[in-house]
Chain A
Amino acid sequence: MSRASGYGGGVAVRHESPMSGLDRRNLGPLQVFAQSISGAAPSAAMAAAPAVAAATAGGAVLWSFVAATVLALLIGVCVAQFTRRMAAAGSLYSLTAKGLGPVAAFAAGWALLIGYGLLAMAALVGAGTYVHDVLRRLGLSPGWGAVAGTVVVLGALATVLTVRGVRLSAKVVLVTEAVSISALLVVFGLLLARVAPELGFTPLTTDEGLGGVAGGVLPALGAFVGFEAAASFGVEARRPFQSVPRAVQWTAALCGVLYLIAAYTQVAGLSQLPGGLAGQPEPMSALAELEGLPWLPYVLDAGIAASFFACTMATSSALVRVLLSMGREGIVPRRLGTTHPRYRTPHVAILLVLPAVTLLPVVLLAAGVSTRELFVALLNIAVFGYLIAYLLVCAAAPVFLHRIGELTRGAVTASVVVAPVLLAVLVLFTATNADGPYPLAFTLLLAAGVAWYAWVRARRPRQLAGIGIYDETSASDLLGGRP
């Protein structure tokens, strides 16, 4: 990675990209898109999120999803300001660095590691839970062992696939997610055909008002987290400046549409039951029973388990690429920054992280934590991490544009609208999780982050200042190849 002599206005161009070693410029647009979709795991959210949102939003749940979709699209606009201009593997961590500098980037990196790590764990546990449910419906009575077994098998599979090459894992993610969404669309299509003619647009009318809408935004936004996953495939995407921003934006839009369909179907279908959607612990099963389609839950469970597996693959792939970037920068041990000579994947990071992501939930399950509690806790803490990273990247976007002299009114507007809302959502989130294990978990994670930052600052100040590595233009990208 030698520095070449000056080029043009005194800007040095390297002979080799600092991200060399990855399978550069080799992922098609559809495969990049699949990473973002899988990160958001819309299938699982379609089945569960409307009921969770309805618990706080009541009848305003549809409008909560509309608001969350707008928010996600605006976050996408902010992320796109970076991804249209730089191809990074470190996702929001590397992007934040270019706007707000190393301290904020460090915070975003820590939040993102927590978000990605815990979402990958939650998705594994989620897949285990739905496989467990299928077995139970078949008349078996598997204990937590079935969940733990599924977690181990899928975790091992994800490890092998992610090591064996980004193209292979992207194909698996694409196919799995496509099957899952198709299954869910069939299920919702069938239900919608039965419930829609009776109700028409009545689910859109609400008497909860703005307060209801706001209350539901947090759980609704939670259904979108992970949709930025494509941002860690900038180095590997064939046309990163097109496919990465598009993948993030289209995922926000597609998930928004899917969630609205899901929410409408569930609100409309369950409106006749006492308590409506909010009163149902298992809304989809209740709906299937109500409509006399007993086989539906099988398709649904299998589809959701598949979606969770794809989510594990996408989020852990993003996670290891953040670690790869940190390894190259010297923020974490440099070994984590190495890539496999043949498979061109960050194999050291994968072999360190994925077994941990797999085994930690198994240990907690073995210690007697219930699957449901574990899943909800992992997901909640993950969402918290994501929201912090989103807030930081949205705040960083206009600063970045100003720094490179390309600030526009639209970009400022997006940031000014979305950052305060995200901040409010974060405060609300902290307030609603003031009981149970959360205050302790948040304190521990915050303390760990601060301690890590203090260590890096004291021992590696130079590396700290160098945060924000990305696949910069190297001599071979220039016409004439001249350094």
Chain B
Amino acid sequence: MSPPAEPAPLSGRQPKAVRNALAVLEEVVAAGPGVTAKEISAALKLPPATTYRLLNLLVGEEYLVRLPDLRGFALGRRAGRLTVPVASGPPAAARAVVERLRQRVRWGVHLASYQSGRVELADADPDHPPSDGALLARYPHASALGKLLLAEQADWRAVVRELRPFTTATITEAGRLETELADVARTGLARQCGELYPGRGCLAVAIRDVVNGTLVAGLAVSGPTERVAEPNPELLALLREHAEQLAPLLA
């Protein structure tokens, strides 16, 4: 019923508090998981009460988490948003697999990486340019590659900034998106029919780390909406086959 609370606007009049909060974050990174409030306070020469307040604030904002002993701290998932995605292209072997798929289908074929915690186009089809990369990264709810990423999250609300409508087909209700993401998680296939641009759609399958099964990338094909909506068993088989070939190359 109530929208997620917007963080109070920072007046910019507390430069010291901001500096200290960043120093605390940095110290947790430097000292590694399990560092205690006392240790941080001693290392930064900050008054204990200030350190505890900042730590509680950062835990409240989910940049940090308390470990189960309640003494130690570690980086929370949200801290991943602070890192700027490093643009490192996929290895040549992986590009070759993607290229092979491009030759076999008449669709646009795109490879996206999730290493940075968001959708990042690693190998976009030059003949069928995909949607704007920044748009894909910002609004994962409106793309097939984004839905793959969201379906993997423990709490997708933590990643989605807003359910912005782009077309009449865009999913803007949390409940509907939740159901759809449950489907994506079950089938390993995400679909998007004209939800970002009218008339264009996408199918995407997950590429998982061969050792621990975490989601590392997504392989997508794009085309006209009516073709995307069809069952396409042959195309899916082809897509899955190539995704499997990519898995050991991208881990």
Contact = CB atoms under 8 A, between A and B. Distances in A.
Given A8-B34, A29-B5, A241-B59, A478 B74 contact: yes
A406 B34 contact: no
A11 B72 contact: yes
Interface of A: 7-14, 24-25, 28-31, 84-86, 98, 167, 171, 174, 238-239, 241-243, 403-406, 408-410, 472-473, 476-481
B60 A242 contact: yes
A399 to B, nearest CB: 13
A27 to B, nearest CB: 9
B66 A85 contact: yes
Contacts of B56: 84-85, 241
- Determine chain B's interface SS by DSSP, over half rule: mixed
B52 A8 contact: no
Nearest to A10: B34
Contacts of B59: 84-85, 241
Given A30-B2, A476-B154, 12 more contacts: A7-B67, A8-B74, A9-B72, A11-B33, A13-B67, A14-B68, A30-B1, A241-B59, A404-B71, A472-B68, A477-B154, A479-B79
Contacts of B2: 28-31
A156 B234 CA distance: 54
Contacts of A84: 56, 59-60
Contacts of B52: 406, 408
Nearest to B52: A406
B62 to A, nearest CB: 8
A473 B34 contact: no
Nearest to B65: A473
Contact of B157 (A25, A31, A167, A476): A25
A98 B38 CA distance: 19
Given A10-B34, A239-B60, A98 B77 contact: no
Given A9-B33, A84-B60, A239 B5 contact: yes
Contact of A405 (B33, B36, B157): B36
B91 interface: no
A21 B224 CA distance: 40
Contacts of B79: 479
B151 to A, nearest CB: 13
A479 B67 contact: no
A408 B66 contact: no
B154 A405 contact: no
B206 interface: no
Closest 10 CB pairs of A and B: A8-B34, A9-B34, A8-B33, A28-B2, A479-B75, A476-B154, A241-B60, A472-B68, A473-B65, A30-B2
A10 B182 CA distance: 34
B129 interface: no
B32 interface: yes
Nearest to B1: A171
Contacts of A404: 36-37, 69-71
Nearest to A9: B34
Interface string B27-46: 00000111111100000000
B150 to A, nearest CB: 14
A28 B1 CA distance: 8
Interface residues of B, number: 37
Contacts of B76: 477-479
Contacts of B69: 11, 404
B214 interface: yes
Given A29-B2, A473-B68, A408 B77 contact: no
Contacts of A86: 66, 70
Contact of B32 (A8, A13, A409, A410): A8
B169 to A, nearest CB: 26
Contacts of A239: 5, 60, 62
A406 B48 contact: yes
A37 to B, nearest CB: 14
A124 B80 CA distance: 48
A343 B72 CA distance: 34
B155 interface: yes
Given A174-B1, A406-B48, A477-B154, A85 B70 contact: yes
A12 B33 CA distance: 11
Contact of A13 (B68, B75, B80): B68
Q: Which of A14, A243, A477 has the most CB of B within 10 A?
A: A477
A30 B4 CA distance: 10
B37 A405 contact: yes
25 contacts: A7-B34, A7-B74, A8-B67, A11-B33, A11-B67, A13-B67, A25-B157, A28-B4, A29-B5, A30-B1, A85-B66, A85-B70, A238-B157, A239-B60, A243-B5, A405-B36, A405-B38, A406-B38, A408-B48, A472-B68, A473-B67, A473-B74, A479-B77, A480-B75, A481-B77
Contacts of B35: 8-9
B131 to A, nearest CB: 27
Contacts of A476: 77, 154
Contacts of A405: 36-38, 71
A85 B65 CA distance: 9
A10 B71 CA distance: 12
A478 B56 CA distance: 16
Interface in B123-153: none
A478 B75 CA distance: 6
Contacts of A14: 68
A443 B80 CA distance: 56
Contacts of B3: 28
B87 interface: no
Contacts of B80: 479-480
Given A405-B36, A479-B77, A25 B1 contact: no
A183 B126 CA distance: 65
A408 B37 CA distance: 12
